[in-house]
Every structure is written in structure tokens, then in C-alpha cells.
Amino acid sequence: MITFDDGTVYHLNISWALPVTWPGAVYSLEVDIVGTTGVLTIDDTHRDIVLAVSKPQSEGYNPDATRLVDFMGSYPPGDMALGELRGPMADETVSWLNRVALGLSTPAATVEEAHRNLMLTKALDLSAKRKAPVKLPLSDEDVSAVA
């Protein structure tokens, strides 16, 4: 749980108890932001296209052979299907490659935004490890304690 200076409370709940063979173990996210005057719900579970087979596939789309159910387009770098990168994450990957290779603009996070999110993630890990609240910004000792 994160409590901000203005009294805003952020509750984070993660459970990776699903079996490795379940597609959500690859990438699946649901976010609900509830405010006093509105709600924002983000369903990024990729359950809109589900592939279920009785034996591993050898042609076209073939994810990890141990998974017989898959959420199409859920693998973060994109999915290889029919010899081509596909899925919603493929667009993000291509955008990033265009930024790196061609210098084109991208909607991806800035270095500062990425660093802030990394430090927040480290604070979450440290808080769980210590079983106590952690104040931001993290000290160098706190960052080292997470590693």
C-alpha cells in the first residue's frame, strides 16, 4: 500500500499463483483506478483472442510448447506468427526500434519516467522484504538492499 502526501492511497495486489501453463503467467494486467468523481478501468489481459489446442502447434503460431492455451498478442515484445511479429505489443516494439535506429519520436517513457518507476518498484520490493513502509526517495543503502 502506498500513501501519498495528499492522502491518496494506492493499493497494489499481485498474485502469480497461476500455473506456468496459464497464459496470464506470460503477461496479463488489470488496473482499476477509483476516485471520488470517477473510475478508470484498464483491461490489458489480452483475453480477447484466446488460442486453445489439444497438442502443441508446429505451424503458424507456436508459443512455448508447454502451453496449450494462449492469449494471442500477450507476449510483451510481440508474438511471432506466420514469420512476422504480431500483436499489440509488436507496435510498441517497432516504435521503440524506430526511435533507436532512426531517431523518430515515440510515445514511450522518458529516461526520467523510467527511472522514477524503477525506484518505485524497488521501494515496493524493499517494503515487502522489510514488512514495513518505505519512504521515497530511496537512499543508496535502500537501493542496494533490494539488489
Do residue 20 and residue 72 come from a single domain?
A: yes
pLDDT tens digits, residue range 77-128? 667 777 787 776 777 788 888 988 999 988 777 889 989 999 999 999 999 9
Please spell the DSSP secondary structure of 90-118, one letter per residue. HHHHHHHHHHHHH----SSPPHHHHHHHH
Structural domain count, the chain: 2
Instruction: Report which residue type is found at 34.
Output: V
Residue 139 lies in a domain: yes
Q: What are phi and psi of 141, to 5 degrees?
A: -65, -40
Domain containing 140: what range? Answer: 109-147
The mean pLDDT of 37-57, rounded to a whole number, is 81
| Beta pairing partners, 71 | 50
pTM exceeds 0.95: no
Query: What whole-number distance in Å separates Cα of residue 60 and Cα of residue 81?
Result: 5
Query: What whole-number distance in Å separates Cα of residue 88 and Cα of residue 77?
Result: 9
Do residue 6 and residue 73 come from a single domain?
A: yes
